[in-house]
A and B are shown apart, each in its own frame.
Chain A
Amino acid sequence: MSLATATSPAPAARPFAGRLVWLAAIAVLVVLWQIAPSVAWIGDPASVYILPLQGWISSAMDWLVDDLSFGLFTFKELTRAIAWLLGLPLKACIAVLSKGWHLPIGADGVFVPPVPWFGVVAAVTWLGWRLGGRSLAILVALCFLYLAVFGQWASAMITLSSILVAVPVGVVVGIALGIVAHRSETLAALIRPLLDLMQTVPVFAYLVPVLFLFGFGPVSAMIATIIYAMPPMVRVTMLALKSVPPEVVEFGHMAGCTPRQMLWRILLPAARPSLMVGVNQVIMLSLNMVIIASMIGAGGLGRDVLTSLRRLAIGDGLEAGIAITLLAISLDRLSQAFVYRQKQPLHLEQGMGFLVRHATLSVFFGVVVASLLVAAFEPSIALYPKSMMLSTAPFWDGLVEFVNVHLYEYLDAIKAFLLINVLVPLKRFMVDAPWLGVVVILAVAGMRLGGVRLAIAVSLMAAFIALTGNWEKAMISVYLCGLSVIIASLIGIPIGILSARHDGFRRVARTTIDTLQTLPSFVYLIPVVMLFAVGDFSAMIAIVLYALAPAVRYADHGIRRVPANIMEAGTMAGCRPSQLLWKVQLPLAMPELMLGLNQTIMMALSMLVITALVGTNDLGQEVYIALTRADIGHGVVAGLCVAFIAMIADRLINAWAENRKRQLQLD
């Protein structure tokens, strides 16, 4: 029965009329394409009219910063006050971990040195052991030792400081917003599209306003990090509060909870495991932001990577990049271990002292203080000795040189072949596409998949891109991103299918994918630039690598989700394994595969902007240029265009997948 629904065509309403609409739309597109060269505004409106939105945004921003006043204080004073407030804990963290502290005691003051490197290593190792046992302790110890041995310590501690402040602030603000949205349906309706926008607007785009409002420096870098890392926390909070079982909420009411008790005693504790997943996300995203944030003054490891990438000093960049990755891995594993930690029943601890009850924390601080004392008596060991440092940078630089000398011809041949035969023709084709025709096609797709509202939304977004004069750049983005997504899917989906069918293969694939996803996006650029120098081709490879993970994950998940009884029915009908795959599993996994495609597109678009650093010529580059010139209107508009491309793809694919899932009765 279900097999039949899976393979037979869905009973679409008015199939003939539907096809006719599509044919008409394509005909319109072709006609417009033909006449575009003679009527300029059909091809790209930029030559005739550009909506002066950039100028409006820039002047609005100027007004905000220069003129807006709340009576007692101005808007600028407000933003600077926020920056000052957030700067306090950051300064404290940097003092403890990296710079030391001058206490105004006595005539000259007393200098408290930062925690020495061995103190930090011992403390985090202890934490790892308490939370996750021996293997986690070893992992964390090795990661932090790497920082010391490879000379990344000073930068790493600055980066760690900003993470240690950004994550709690992001988590607290995120949970607060999530609670607010949970309480009020109206506010939820306001917050949700804002979150969509925050997650699809490329990071560079809001670096510009942040720079404008908060100035250049570690604090505004941290604010940008918080803005970037917070949306998933809000989403997770909303979802987690919503998925508390209704009976548990009813119990709370019947026990006579006040609204406040309901929140603190029932909803938040019940949602805690899901909330911790959100915390983990915030940590990972904050680390992902490390390099980008260094563009507006974060310093630390991010700046090291960025400067070495600009100098094309691959070795140095790689070592700093690995340091960020190891920091990410240790914080990720520590936070995950914290989530799954088993708590001891509370009243068992009655009668024990504070120190015993909080053994983990007591020893943690004990170790820190002890290491400070040791360092005070023997200051020479507070810093990791230079003579014992290692560096692999010369090796990597040598490798790059070797590749360039010996393999250049082959690599260049491959690159040239693909550029001439695939990339450039496709790019021309896309750039020539007439905007009006594309808008019509999108509107028809929206109409067919999700109705009038979707049609209006997607065509308005496409029209926005064209009317603000970004059509050509946008089509270059679509071409680069689309090609990368196709390649990523062609590689990723077969891997996902294989891993769904072989458990052994799956373990390998999973570990690889998990590791790939903890790498900050910038790190992908390093080996690519090493091999292929700068340009569209390098950008494409970096995007493919970065966007591969969701394709694999969703394919694996989709195939595994096919109900066992349908598989059995297929087997009993006499399907060969390949028939089972093509006729049963793939059709049923299709909605899941499309959601994977959707995620792949999102990842590709977010990487696209970063590849601006290796010399692409698309919207990402526009945003990057705007950042370097602090041209706020330009940056925001180009950023919105990227977000709109993402949202068009997202809405259409989701609408399709929803329809299909309903037809297949998968939900």
Chain B
Amino acid sequence: MSDTAAASASATPANAPSADGDEERSVKLSCRGLWKIFGDDTDDARRFLERHGGTPTTEALDKAGLTPAVRNASLDVHEGEIFVIMGLSGSGKSTIIRCLSQLLEPTAGELVFEGQDLLACSRKELIDIRRHKMGMVFQHFALLPYLTVLGNVTFPLEIQGVDRATREQRAMEVIELVGLGGRELDFPRALSGGQQQRVGIARSLATEPELWFLDEPFSALDPLIRREMQDEFLRLQRLLHKSIVFITHDFDEAIRLADRIAIMNHGEIVQVGTPEDLVVRPATAYVEEFTRDVARSKVLSARSIMSPPAPGTDYGGEVKPADRVSAFAAPLVASGKPFAVVNRRGETIGRIDREAVVTLLAESA
């Protein structure tokens, strides 16, 4: 297990999209060899790690009576991407997001945010970073019940000492943005779950953070509302281009939202990759298990089913390399002609035939 984790972790940077003419995006948040071991004594756990050269075996951990919630995790979150960490309960996903946001201190490892070593920050520096550069949305909303919607959204600005007029104006902007205009004087208890989470989102955006943590934000909501909120979330991200760490236990949600996904199991990161990578090249049987029921047309991109372009073909339409098949399957099948795959520089890099799409759709069914 630990071998695959190490392998996939070291392969991570190579997964950044670049071949299609997209620029390599800079790394916003990066962690290397992150460990979080729960126990009575933090120093004890730290010494234990040092004794075992930083990578103890499962047996050694069991023998010492230590429970590692996160083991040797390494990942990079790029500027402007939605990085989803997906795992079932007990996989360590909520521990890792708390380590990344410094709500928990990791037992060992490196954590770098915008080139700054977060673990070396003083408490004051950390408060400053959180006030201006980080925002977080919580699974159970974590709204302050004694404040109105407006009071909740202005709260992060108020404790920074922003004056009342400015903070209320800014808060009203984000409240409008999440579609809660007119409800700003209600108390949280008067709102539905979905609306409460909109408040949580508005509140985390009020300070215009660059790094946005979302800890299972839609898990506590009904399936229909969840879907609506996912769409809302994608809409916001198209407007705001934040760097996002998104936690979920729902693989479908991960596939829908992610630019890249990290799969966690027993505290280890099993594989990091685009949804397409995971479906096409699952690193382990565990990952494959998740991907088995995924509708391939919703995950695979034009790039992965295209064939080399033949000059002089009569194309029925154009698609981008990263477009998912489900997005253009219907018009392509209807037009009866192949589509061209065109990159950002306007070059045709491939063609998609009707047969390729039909075969894929038939496989998914």
A residues in contact (CB < 8 Å) with B: 245, 247-248, 250-251, 253-258, 261, 265-266, 269-270, 272, 343, 345-348
Interface residues on B, range: 20 to 34
By secondary structure, the A interface counts as helix
Task: Check A245 against B156 for contact (C-beta < 8 Å).
Answer: no
Chain B contacts for A251, CB-based, 8 A = 136, 138, 142, 144
Min CB distance A491 to B, Å, is: 41
Chain B contacts for A269, CB-based, 8 A = 144, 146-147
**Given the known A-B contacts A261-B159, A270-B144, A270-B145, are A253 and B139 also in contact in the complex, defined by CB atoms under 8 Å?**
no
Cα distance A44–B144 in the bound complex, in angstroms: 60
Task: Check B130 against A248 for contact (C-beta < 8 Å).
Answer: no
Residue ID in chain A nearest B145 by CB atoms:
A270
Min CB distance A275 to B, Å, is: 12
- Can you give 23 contacting A-B residue pairs, CB < 8 Å? A247-B141, A250-B103, A250-B138, A251-B144, A254-B103, A254-B135, A256-B130, A256-B132, A258-B127, A265-B159, A269-B144, A269-B147, A270-B144, A270-B146, A272-B146, A343-B146, A345-B148, A345-B150, A345-B151, A345-B187, A346-B148, A347-B168, A348-B185
Chain A contacts for B101, CB-based, 8 A = 254
Name the interface residues of B116-138: CB closer than 8 Å to any CB of A.
127-132, 134-136, 138
The reply to whether the CB of B354 lies closer than 8 angstroms to some CB of chain A is no
Min CB distance A186 to B, Å, is: 16
Task: Check B146 against A253 for contact (C-beta < 8 Å).
Answer: no
Task: Check B159 against A256 for contact (C-beta < 8 Å).
Answer: yes
Task: Check B146 against A254 for contact (C-beta < 8 Å).
Answer: no
Min CB distance A494 to B, Å, is: 39
Min CB distance A141 to B, Å, is: 31
Min CB distance B83 to A, Å, is: 18
Closest 3 CB pairs of A and B: A256-B131, A247-B142, A256-B130
Task: Check B168 against A256 for contact (C-beta < 8 Å).
Answer: no
Task: Check B130 against A255 for contact (C-beta < 8 Å).
Answer: yes
Residue ID in chain A nearest B139 by CB atoms:
A247
Interface string of B141-164 (1 = CB under 8 A from A): 110111110110001100110000
Cα distance A269–B148 in the bound complex, in angstroms: 13
Chain A contacts for B129, CB-based, 8 A = 256
Task: Check A255 against B185 for contact (C-beta < 8 Å).
Answer: no
Min CB distance A343 to B, Å, is: 8
Name the interface residues of B150-188: CB closer than 8 Å to any CB of A.
150-151, 155-156, 159-160, 168, 185, 187
Cα distance A250–B215 in the bound complex, in angstroms: 11
Cα distance A260–B207 in the bound complex, in angstroms: 20
Chain B contacts for A348, CB-based, 8 A = 185
The reply to whether the CB of B266 lies closer than 8 angstroms to some CB of chain A is no
Contacts A247-B139, A270-B146 supplied; 5 other A-B pairs, CB < 8 Å: A245-B142, A247-B142, A251-B136, A255-B130, A345-B187
Min CB distance A468 to B, Å, is: 39
Selected contact of B159 from candidates A247, A255, A345, CB within 8 Å: A255
Task: Check B146 against A245 for contact (C-beta < 8 Å).
Answer: no
Cα distance A270–B204 in the bound complex, in angstroms: 19
Min CB distance B289 to A, Å, is: 30
The reply to whether the CB of B140 lies closer than 8 angstroms to some CB of chain A is yes
Chain B contacts for A256, CB-based, 8 A = 127-132, 156, 159-160
Task: Check B140 against A247 for contact (C-beta < 8 Å).
Answer: yes
Cα distance A255–B101 in the bound complex, in angstroms: 11
Selected contact of B134 from candidates A254, A261, A347, CB within 8 Å: A254
Residue ID in chain A nearest B206 by CB atoms:
A255
Task: Check A253 against B130 for contact (C-beta < 8 Å).
Answer: yes
Residue ID in chain B nearest A250 by CB atoms:
B103
Chain B contacts for A247, CB-based, 8 A = 138-142
Cα distance A253–B159 in the bound complex, in angstroms: 11
Chain B contacts for A272, CB-based, 8 A = 146
Residue ID in chain B nearest A254 by CB atoms:
B136
Min CB distance B308 to A, Å, is: 50
Chain B contacts for A347, CB-based, 8 A = 150-151, 168
Cα distance A324–B207 in the bound complex, in angstroms: 54
Cα distance A274–B130 in the bound complex, in angstroms: 30
Residue ID in chain A nearest B104 by CB atoms:
A250
Min CB distance A255 to B, Å, is: 4
Cα distance A553–B194 in the bound complex, in angstroms: 39
Cα distance A257–B161 in the bound complex, in angstroms: 11
Chain A contacts for B146, CB-based, 8 A = 269-270, 272, 343
Chain B contacts for A248, CB-based, 8 A = 142, 144
Chain A contacts for B207, CB-based, 8 A = 255
**Given the known A-B contacts A247-B138, A346-B151, are A255 and B144 also in contact in the complex, defined by CB atoms under 8 Å?**
no
Min CB distance B134 to A, Å, is: 6
Task: Check A253 against B185 for contact (C-beta < 8 Å).
Answer: no
Chain A contacts for B159, CB-based, 8 A = 255-258, 261, 265
Residue ID in chain A nearest B209 by CB atoms:
A254
Residue ID in chain A nearest B135 by CB atoms:
A254
Min CB distance A504 to B, Å, is: 31
Task: Check A255 against B138 for contact (C-beta < 8 Å).
Answer: no
Chain B contacts for A255, CB-based, 8 A = 130-131, 155-156, 159, 207
Residue ID in chain B nearest A268 by CB atoms:
B146
Min CB distance B247 to A, Å, is: 13
Chain A contacts for B151, CB-based, 8 A = 345-347
Residue ID in chain B nearest A255 by CB atoms:
B156
Cα distance A219–B193 in the bound complex, in angstroms: 53
Task: Check B140 against A245 for contact (C-beta < 8 Å).
Answer: yes
Min CB distance A253 to B, Å, is: 6
Chain B contacts for A254, CB-based, 8 A = 101, 103, 130, 134-136, 204, 213
Name the interface residues of B223-251: CB closer than 8 Å to any CB of A.
none
Cα distance A322–B26 in the bound complex, in angstroms: 77
Cα distance A467–B260 in the bound complex, in angstroms: 74
Cα distance A569–B87 in the bound complex, in angstroms: 37
Interface string of B40-54 (1 = CB under 8 A from A): 000000000000000
Cα distance A258–B155 in the bound complex, in angstroms: 13
Cα distance A504–B177 in the bound complex, in angstroms: 51
Chain A contacts for B98, CB-based, 8 A = 250
| Residue among B127, B140, B147, B150 with the highest chain A CB neighbour number at 10 A | B127
